[in-house]
Each structure stands twice: as C-alpha cells, then as structure tokens.
Structure 1
Amino acid sequence: MAIVIELDVQLAKRKMKSIELAAAIGITPQNLSILRSGRAKAIRFSTLEAICQHLSCQPGDILRYLDEPANT
C-alpha cells in the first residue's frame, strides 16, 4: 500500500514554487519539501486544509492511494 503525494502536479498547474506555497500557508520550506517528497509520516489536517484552500483544490487532488499487489 502506498500514498502518493501529487503536490508538485498542483504547483505546476498553478506555476507556483513550493517556497511561495510554504510562505503562504505558514510552514517551513523544509517541511513542505518533506511532504512533497513523500517522506512525511503524517500531515496535520490544518496543513492539508491550508494547502487545499490556497491551491483551490481537494485533498484527493494532492493525495492518491495506490494498492500494490501482495507478494506471493
């Protein structure tokens, strides 16, 4: 199972840099980088809400679930 972060796609659609988004939603560029790279273990709903509000998108536009087949 894997959750894929597609924040870069949303940023590219809006021609926005991650540092601009980080400043707009009040998190550090480093924390946003961890989220963008998929290395984050969790995300606060308040952060997800701020991202969605600023990018005018839905959580499903940023997060995608991939069901990986089981190894048999």
Structure 2
Amino acid sequence: MAIEITLDMMLVKRKVTSRELAQAIGLSETNLSLLKSGKVKGVRFQSLDAMCKYLDCQPGDLLRYVPDEGEA
C-alpha cells in the first residue's frame, strides 16, 4: 500500500511512549501496535483525532503517501 505510518517518528519527537499514547486515547496497546506496523486496513477518524490532539500534530505528521514504483 502507498500509505506509510509515521507515528513512531512523532512519538520520538514528542517523547511519548506507545503505552502512554494508548492509555491517553483509550486504545489498546495491541491495536496501537498493529496501527504502527501498518497491519490494519483503516483507522477511525475518532482515533486519528485523539492521536493528533494528544501529540499536538496534524494527520499528515502521522501518515505519509509514498507512491509505488511505476505509478505516475
């Protein structure tokens, strides 16, 4: 998929652990880990909103579009 999850970089920038974020936004650590690894098919806007509020960032700071090779 052409969407890359950059949540780990934001956690490092904000000096926040995955555990802290999961607890703050009401998501299980397992689900947050799956999201970070890109093993989920989608993310709820409610979860994305909560992450952005807690980390004081924009959705584009957590997700990145990287076109597959050969795409124009």
Instruction: Sort the TM-score into its range (normalised by shorter chain).
Output: over 0.9
Q: Which residue of 1 aligns with 2:57?
A: 57
Identical amino acids, percent of aligned pairs: 54
Q: TM-score, normalised by structure 2?
A: 0.93
CA RMSD after TM alignment: 1.3
Give the CA deviation at 1:5. 0.3
| Aligned-partner Cα distance in 2 for 1:61–1:15 | 15
Give the CA deviation at 1:54. 0.4
Structure 2 unaligned runs (5+)?
Answer: none
Q: TM-score, normalised by structure 1?
A: 0.93
Could you give the per-residue CA deviations for residues 21-45 of structure 1, whole angstroms, max 9, x where no partner exists? 0000001000000000011111000
- Structure 1 position 10 matched with structure 2 position 10: yes
| Aligned-partner Cα distance in 2 for 1:55–1:5 | 15
Q: How many residues align?
A: 71
